[in-house]
């Protein structure tokens, strides 16, 4: 088992910067803005031959009893409970605060190994300002600079001393299959975090009745029926004109990155608000990225039969380009429809990674051409000779022949429908590429 290291501290002391340094990634959004991280954020770190898990947490206010800060504090307490060691991060430039004392008091009662990291201490390792942090009663302060990497290795070695193994020791080779990356995308406040909490059976993510609660792309591991998943909760995407904060612009970038990196995307719609232009924009981006997609309509239990009929008509009109995507009616809050949703996700992933044999593709191509030939272009009619698979997730079918640049998009859609019907491809885009053979008798200048 990998040891778990939790990063705890008040807002804006550099926990996310340290998280990115330990995981050698840019997974956590970093900006000079207090209260940016709100959920627990997991990542993998390594020091020598020792691998460990890092948990980034939001700003901790132990005594807060209302609002979103209460939910953030609950997330931090859960991270401390899961951790083998806790790194308490403080800011040497801001000095000691009453909130630091409150956090130290909580950590002393948590019965966990705690290491005190005095951050932003570049060029201040011998400064008398570091000595004042002995007052917290946590132990020896470790001066570090998360931004520059100074003192970070010795900090981790102190925190995980009993877990460090020599590099000479034989490390087990991990040949496990990669998990399926499953992103949940949609507008703000449609219930993305609530859905993931329902999947996990715990309040893993902050779900709060305020648009924009999730600001980062949070990754959560999950295993279901022997299949490992990496679930990504994304920030809600607003229209560009409504994105005001610089932080929110970072969130939009992280969400688009998460969609592009995912294997399957669940597009979550709000049944009570219908299908907006923004939903169509998000769906278009998912399609452009070539991701397998499932449309989940949340809060289905909150509308009557007339509203359901109007909603289905709206989806048919506004999301016509996602006709291949299955639709599932759910209620994340009541945990209704989650079983069928998992089945459609599995079907979409299976379709996106299906192997399409060349002989079968070529036979289907010839049958399609025999049933309906492409239109003549001038003196010539495009000749489609054979087809083969050119990629997966999304599946790509490459068709070879002559004068294929004259094949219209309508005929490509006809071929796509034939291929889909035979291979029963659902929930995944299917791309068709035309490659014309060159004429060896063309004169070369």
In this structure, the answer to whether residues 307 and 243 fall within a common structural domain is yes
CB-CB neighbours of 137 under 10 Å:
12
| pLDDT at 258 (0 to 100) | 76
At residue 208 the predicted structure's pLDDT band, cuts being 50, 70 and 90, is: very low
Q: Tell the residue number behind the tokens 């612009």, with chain if given.
A: 249
In this structure, the answer to whether residues 279 and 398 fall within a common structural domain is no
| pLDDT at 244 (0 to 100) | 41
pLDDT above 60: residue 431: yes
Mean local confidence (pLDDT), 326-335: 92
Output helix, strand, coil percentages for the chain, rounded to the nearest 5: 35, 25, 40
In the chain, % of residues over pLDDT 90: 36
378 domain residue, yes or no: yes
63 domain residue, yes or no: yes
Residue-by-residue DSSP string for 274-292: ---HHHHHHHHHHHHHT-E
- For residues 84 and 37, the answer to whether their CB atoms sit within 8 Å is no
Q: CATH no. for residue 409?
A: 3.30.300.20
In this structure, the answer to whether residues 338 and 389 fall within a common structural domain is no
Please give the tally of structural domains in the chain. Answer: 3
Per-residue model confidence as pLDDT tens digits over 14-62: 888 899 889 887 655 544 444 445 456 788 888 887 889 898 887 777 6
Per-residue model confidence as pLDDT tens digits over 126-179: 777 888 899 999 889 999 988 878 889 999 999 988 887 655 444 333 434 578
441 domain residue, yes or no: no
In this structure, the answer to whether residues 227 and 367 fall within a common structural domain is no
In this structure, the answer to whether residues 421 and 299 fall within a common structural domain is no
Q: Give the global pTM.
A: 0.58
pLDDT above 60: residue 246: no
| pLDDT at 32 (0 to 100) | 45
In this structure, the answer to whether residues 61 and 198 fall within a common structural domain is no
In this structure, the answer to whether residues 9 and 87 fall within a common structural domain is yes
pLDDT above 70: residue 274: yes
pLDDT above 70: residue 217: no
CA distances from 398 to 10, 159, 283, 394, 430 (A): 55, 54, 25, 13, 11
- For residues 228 and 256, the answer to whether their CB atoms sit within 8 Å is no
Share the mean pLDDT of the chain: 81
In this structure, the answer to whether residues 152 and 261 fall within a common structural domain is no
| pLDDT at 436 (0 to 100) | 84
Which structural domain range is residue 377 located in? 358-436
Per-residue model confidence as pLDDT tens digits over 164-193: 765 544 433 343 457 899 999 888 878 888
- Comparing 331-335, 399-403, 436-440, the range with the smallest average pLDDT is 436-440
pLDDT above 80: residue 65: no
| pLDDT at 416 (0 to 100) | 93
| pLDDT at 85 (0 to 100) | 92
pLDDT above 90: residue 70: no
At residue 196 the predicted structure's pLDDT band, cuts being 50, 70 and 90, is: confident
Of 98, 130, 159, the last residue of a domain is 159
Long-range CB contacts for residues 386-390, cutoff 8 Å, separation at least 24:
386/358, 386/361, 386/362, 387/358, 387/361, 387/362, 388/358, 388/361, 388/362, 389/355, 389/356, 389/357, 389/358, 389/361, 390/433
165 domain residue, yes or no: no
């Amino acid at each position: 088992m990998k040891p778990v290291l939790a990063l705890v501290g008040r807002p804006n002391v550099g926990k996310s910067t340290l998280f990115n340094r330990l995981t050698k990634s840019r997974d956590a959004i970093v900006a000079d803005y207090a209260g940016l991280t709100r959920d627990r954020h997991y990542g993998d770190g390594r020091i020598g031959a020792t691998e460990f898990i890092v948990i980034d947490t939001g700003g901790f206010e132990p005594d807060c009893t209302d609002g979103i800060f209460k939910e953030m504090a609950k997330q931090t307490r859960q991270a401390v409970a899961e951790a083998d060691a806790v790194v308490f991060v403080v800011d040497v430039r801001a000095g000691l605060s009453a909130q630091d004392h409150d956090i130290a008091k909580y950590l002393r009662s948590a019965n966990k190994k705690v290491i005190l990291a005095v951050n932003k201490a570049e060029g201040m390792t011998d400064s008398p300002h570091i000595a004042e942090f002995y007052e917290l009663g946590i132990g020896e302060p470790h001066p570090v600079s998360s931004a520059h990497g100074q003192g970070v290795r010795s900090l981790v070695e102190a925190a995980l001393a009993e877990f460090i193994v020599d590099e000479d020791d034989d490390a087990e080779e991990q040949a496990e299959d990669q998990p399926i990356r499953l992103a949940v995308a949609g507008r703000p406040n449609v219930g993305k975090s609530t859905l993931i909490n329902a999947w996990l059976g715990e309040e893993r993510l902050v779900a709060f009745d305020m648009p924009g609660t999730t600001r980062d792309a949070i990754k959560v591991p999950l295993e279901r029926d022997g299949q490992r998943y990496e679930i990504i909760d994304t920030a809600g995407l607003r229209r560009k004109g409504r994105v005001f904060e610089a932080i929110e612009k970072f969130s939009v970038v992280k969400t688009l990155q998460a969609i592009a990196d995912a294997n399957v995307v669940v597009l979550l719609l709000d049944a009570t608000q219908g299908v907006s232009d923004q939903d169509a924009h998000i769906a278009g981006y998912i399609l452009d990225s070539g991701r397998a997609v499932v449309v989940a309509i949340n809060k289905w239990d909150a509308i009557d039969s007339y509203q359901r009929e109007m909603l289905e008509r709206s989806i048919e009109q506004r999301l016509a380009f996602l006709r291949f995507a299955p639709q599932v009616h759910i209620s994340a809050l009541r945990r209704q429809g989650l079983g069928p949703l998992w089945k459609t996700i599995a079907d979409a992933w299976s379709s996106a990674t299906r192997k399409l044999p060349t002989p079968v593709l070529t036979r289907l191509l010839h049958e399609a051409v025999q049933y309906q030939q492409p239109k003549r272009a001038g003196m010539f009619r495009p000749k489609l000779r054979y087809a083969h698979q050119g990629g997966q997730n999304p599946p790509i079918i490459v068709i070879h022949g002559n004068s294929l640049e004259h094949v219209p998009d309508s005929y490509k859609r006809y071929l796509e429908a034939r291929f889909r019907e035979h291979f029963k491809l659902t929930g995944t885009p299917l791309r068709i590429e035309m490659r014309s053979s060159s004429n060896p008798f063309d004169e070369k200048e």
